[in-house]
Structure 1
């Protein structure tokens, strides 16, 4: 049996059986695949070193082997904080106004990808399948090819892929996309992101896309397909029924004293539309004064990428908006926005989700957004809450029975909140039943198995997506 080599920017080290804490659904699914295929998970340790020496830190827990390297401070600044998070991340989320083009960033990005290639190369055996993850490592497949690796190599992009008219603003965009065509399988979250990629390949590179969505390039056939990621449904539902979840549920319910609860759970990131979400809630409080004291918004937003100036700015902006809205609408016994800058274990989150009458998931642009799926999975099917979901989240293409909104329109979101609060129980149950079927049937295991089958060369015909209009 072929082994599976997973490569990502960071590695989720599996917890030993019985260890405390919980891993995310993606880590659980990949660790399961690695155990099944006797695999290795390789990436950056998250630690700094004074001088890069390629030393591998190897661990083996529950039949999963991890291999990590440390990076120099300059590597972290240019590759991770720089090109990955100040160039590619904003560009891929359509924020060209925040995209920084710095030649040193690009050089650091290629240098670290080369270091990944050098370090993982001795671990790859002739029959191994190699699965690379996300925007941090787009050229890695090409660098492995240059070192003689002939294995089947796949790439999965967890973020959106921008339209060609935005991508061409990136210096050396042709070289970046050309390097991606060294993969055998390129996976995207949705047909929209896939269509944008194929449109670029045709328009900017002059290549032909076959009817089955494959691309012929340099004597090879590349499979490009959408593989929508899901949650670990069974694990999450089990967690939602745990004692920890029940305690979190009861604690939140008791604290709001009979009021309705809306919940948002997002990394502190400008792509999540948190400022617009707060403004929409403020509009709701002003437009529906009879309901203003009866609804609480719990926004959980753990900080991220604190070394990047734009992330510092969004935190300051949200704190200012929270103060303004609470100052205008609070009284001595009620504060409309509970804004929390910390994370919670998954089981506690499941309890919070279940206690919430509305799940408010309104990113401005998102590759998928698993919070929407977690909210659906956590609901009591007899008395479910309502999912309000951005039409610009990848999940909106699957979760069509949510209340889909334009997150840029504060009126649209405000009206959706009112509609969700007024929705009859029969309609809530009907919508939830359809949403739950999608979340249950297309979970993270289904996603993983579909990609691995494509990497093996099985079932890769696919369908040709609707192409983006330039």
Structure 2
């Protein structure tokens, strides 16, 4: 049965994100098809969007390609066209060389270019216009992440009847850092166009509220920010009220748990350990190759543990997987060279014939292989310098249906606020990180199992579906009712 609004080419629920939830796959014969993208967001949104009149607005992934809207699994996908220059300016430039480092504690210096800001504005305007066209009267719109921070106010100016929410998947920085941004007020005004703003951590929501107070002169009561907006033509002179709250994202626990229990994954886990020489302890790191992930700090700690004689190959080995990321951005090119060098030095100093200290793999893996890797690992090392959440930590917990394994987790991740039974660490403290890794390796089995089972209960009860329900309930309860058309 076709919903009335859908028959008119509009939809009651619209998701907007930088990318569509599909990737184009080219077959051996040259034909192409669309397949679902990996990741928790796609899983969560699929569950929410199924069975209702829904559309997803996002970039298809290829510069300059004008793809007509199409349906997949009952959801209308509405592609946004980005030119090669816009990919460089809006995405690689402003999103990933300006905002990403700024929002991650300036681990590397942000770069501020007016041409990138202009591109960011153009693309955000294009997203807002596309959403306005596909949203039915009174529709609910859920906008995702730092690439689209101007869209809420731009969309509000076009469609005051909509219920608009935005969720930040990464940290929001303290005002002392955010204040560096030359276009700081414009970004805050853009976000205040939403009815509800969701953040991963309580500190992120507090940082945003404080930035609004100091830079825009807003007031607040509880979790609601009030701003007159009189100076801003985008959202008019009427006072706006925007609610902020902490809504930490999660994973599809049931799916990951069931996958990890399959005979194929369990067999593959045994094969992985055997291929590593069946060491007593397998340490595992799985990260995007990103300077925020603390890979260099982790490798330094591992190198010192080998050097101190606290661990030795072949009894202990580290399997480090670094998924390629943003390879055209110079900071990431430098990081890859540094990590390659560190791994080479560790193996040169501490490996022997048939006894490799660090196995380093620079490519991505499907979810089945990830589940097997989690099963094979005795200790997972998750040591970001700053991370909005870190779903790898939760995936590891969901995969350990046997109650085994140990999680070393940076206190600077959103996951640390939920997985308090992990072995928490400060990755900047190399001596402390070494001690934490050894503690995780040496924990008594009964105590380690108790930790893991407690974390599994948490992830099971707060899965990605609960996250989506919580967010949408908060959006519906946001204080300011839209002006229905």
Does TM-score exceed 0.5, indicating one fold?
A: yes
In the aligned structure 2, how far is the partner of 1:107 from the partner of 1:443?
Answer: 38
Contact in 1 for aligned 2:69/2:79 (Cα 8 Å): yes
Summarize deviations over 1:340-378 as a string: whole Å, max 9, x none: 111111111011101100010000000000000011111
Q: CA deviation at 1:283?
A: 1.2
Q: Match of 2:111?
A: 100
Q: CA deviation at 1:230?
A: 0.5
Q: CA deviation at 1:14?
A: 9.1
Q: CA deviation at 1:379?
A: 1.1
The correspondence of residues 22-421 of structure 1 with structure 2, limited to 5 A, is 23-49=38-64, 57-95=68-106, 97-211=108-222, 213-218=223-228, 219-259=239-279, 260-289=281-310, 291-382=312-403, 384-421=404-441
Q: Sort the Cα spacing of 1:47 and 1:33 in 2 relative to 1 into closer, same or farther, 3 A.
A: same
Q: Sort the Cα spacing of 1:197 and 1:311 in 2 relative to 1 into closer, same or farther, 3 A.
A: same
In the aligned structure 1, how far is the partner of 2:245 from the partner of 2:430?
Answer: 34
Contact in 2 for aligned 1:284/1:415 (Cα 8 Å): no
In the aligned structure 2, how far is the partner of 1:316 from the partner of 1:160?
Answer: 26
In the aligned structure 2, how far is the partner of 1:96 from the partner of 1:256?
Answer: 33
Contact in 1 for aligned 2:266/2:375 (Cα 8 Å): no
Q: Match of 1:446?
A: 466
In the aligned structure 2, how far is the partner of 1:157 from the partner of 1:143?
Answer: 17
Q: Sort the Cα spacing of 1:319 and 1:66 in 2 relative to 1 into closer, same or farther, 3 A.
A: same
Indicate the SS of the match to 1:3.
strand
Q: Sort the Cα spacing of 1:161 and 1:288 in 2 relative to 1 into closer, same or farther, 3 A.
A: same
Q: CA deviation at 1:381?
A: 3.2
In the aligned structure 1, how far is the partner of 2:461 from the partner of 2:311?
Answer: 40
Q: Sort the Cα spacing of 1:118 and 1:285 in 2 relative to 1 into closer, same or farther, 3 A.
A: same
Summarize deviations over 1:153-211 as a string: whole Å, max 9, x none: 00000000000000000002012111110100000001111111112122222222212
Q: Match of 2:483?
A: none
In the aligned structure 1, how far is the partner of 2:444 from the partner of 2:37?
Answer: 36
Contact in 2 for aligned 1:245/1:347 (Cα 8 Å): yes
Q: CA deviation at 1:420?
A: 1.1
Summarize deviations over 1:38-87 as a string: whole Å, max 9, x none: 2101101111118xxxx552221221221112211111110001000000
When normalised by structure 1's length, the TM-score is 0.92
In the aligned structure 2, how far is the partner of 1:198 from the partner of 1:78?
Answer: 28
Q: CA deviation at 1:250?
A: 1.6
Q: Sort the Cα spacing of 1:116 and 1:275 in 2 relative to 1 into closer, same or farther, 3 A.
A: same
Q: CA deviation at 1:217?
A: 2.2
The runs of at least 4 aligned residues of structure 1 exceeding 6 Å deviation read 19-22
Q: Sort the Cα spacing of 1:458 and 1:209 in 2 relative to 1 into closer, same or farther, 3 A.
A: closer
Deviates more, 1:201-210 or 1:75-84: 201-210
Q: CA deviation at 1:424?
A: 0.2
Indicate the SS of the match to 1:343.
coil
In the aligned structure 1, how far is the partner of 2:37 from the partner of 2:448?
Answer: 30
**What stretches of structure 1 of length at least 5 have no aligned partner?**
461-470
Deviates more, 1:320-329 or 1:449-458: 449-458
Contact in 2 for aligned 1:453/1:459 (Cα 8 Å): no
Q: CA deviation at 1:241?
A: 1.7
Indicate the SS of the match to 2:352.
coil
Contact in 2 for aligned 1:363/1:407 (Cα 8 Å): yes
Q: Match of 1:466?
A: none
Q: CA deviation at 1:109?
A: 0.4
In the aligned structure 1, how far is the partner of 2:128 from the partner of 2:344?
Answer: 48
Indicate the SS of the match to 1:236.
helix
Q: CA deviation at 1:244?
A: 3.9
Q: Match of 1:8?
A: 17
Q: Sort the Cα spacing of 1:20 and 1:30 in 2 relative to 1 into closer, same or farther, 3 A.
A: closer
In the aligned structure 1, how far is the partner of 2:103 from the partner of 2:268?
Answer: 36
Contact in 2 for aligned 1:245/1:349 (Cα 8 Å): no
In the aligned structure 1, how far is the partner of 2:153 from the partner of 2:269?
Answer: 48
Contact in 2 for aligned 1:6/1:130 (Cα 8 Å): yes
Contact in 2 for aligned 1:14/1:64 (Cα 8 Å): no
